[in-house]
Every structure is written in C-alpha cells, then in structure tokens.
Amino acid sequence: MFRYGTAVALALAVAMPVMPAFSTTISRTVPANKPSVLWPIFGVDMTLCNVYQAHDVKITGLPSNGVAAIVEKTIPLPADFAQCKGKMVKMKLLVYQSKGKFSGTDHVTVTYTMPSNTGEMNQKYIEYNVDVTVK
C-alpha cells in the first residue's frame, strides 16, 4: 500500500501545474520603441543589505506588440533602500521595447523562484503580470 500511495502522490505531483506562491499585476508606462526596465528581479534583506538572486527566471507571457528580455546588470540599489545607499548589486531586469511606432497596451508575464531569507531550501515561486502602456 505504501508503494501505491507513493506512486499516486508522485503521479499527481508531475501532472499538476506549479501554482505561484505570489502572483500580482503591475502597470508600467514606457516610451515607444525604446528599451525600458519594467521590473527589477531580486530580493534584499533590508537589515543587512544582502541581496538574494532570483532563479529560473522566465518570460512566460510574451508581449504581442514588442519584445521582452531578461538582462543581468550590476547597478546601485534603488532609492527605496536608503539604508543600503550606494551598494552595487547584480540583479536581473525585465526589459521591454515596443515594435516600431506602436502605441497602446501590451502585456508581459515573468515567473521566477526566490529564496527566502532563511536559505535556498525554501524557494517561493513568483509571478508578475505587467500591463504595459506604450506612449
């Protein structure tokens, strides 16, 4: 019986899709036909200013009227992290550029896993849906 139960549990785990632990929709306005950062993809410990890298970063919903890419750069932490002022961190950025003279709305979805501040063994699956307004 134990083997049968284990086999059923494994079959269900393989057959069922992974649902995000966190999913949200954000909106961004960008200029037409210029590369624009839609979302920085990283985690940070606000107390120690330690940065946690995202894993398995994927664009799972491609835009209809532009192109999206994941770009890795080393940049200073945003102003939101005043206590970490000047700290340079390596992070991934979701970048979007509209096609030609397109203006209107587009949509991009990105998914990734992020370690919690307790270590790599506790990964959170995250999904961001980005509504893009191109002007």
Considering the domain boundaries, does residue 59 fall inside one? Answer: yes
Residue 72: per-residue pLDDT: 94
Q: Structurally, how many domains does the chain consist of?
A: 1
| Cβ–Cβ under 8 Å, residues 132 and 110 | no
* Domain contains 42: yes
- pTM (predicted TM-score): 0.76
- 15 part of a folded domain: no
- Residues 131, 105: contact at Cβ < 8 Å? yes
Mind listing the pLDDT tens digit for each residue in 56-105? 999 999 999 999 999 999 988 877 788 888 888 888 999 999 999 999 99
110 domain-assigned: yes
Instruction: List phi, psi (to 5°) of 126.
Output: -120, 145
User: Residue 2: inside a domain, yes or no?
Assistant: no
The residues that bridge with 113 in the sheet, in sequence order, are 55, 125
In a domain, 75, yes or no: yes
For residue 62, being part of any structural domain is answered with yes
Instruction: Using alpha carbons, select from 81, 56, 85, 89 the residue that is nearest to residue 70.
Output: 56
| Of 116, 117, 93, nearest in space to 21 by CA | 116
Q: Is residue 6 part of a domain?
A: no
For residue 50, the enclosing domain spans: 20-134
Mean pLDDT of the chain: 81
Whichever domain contains 89, its CATH number is: 2.60.40
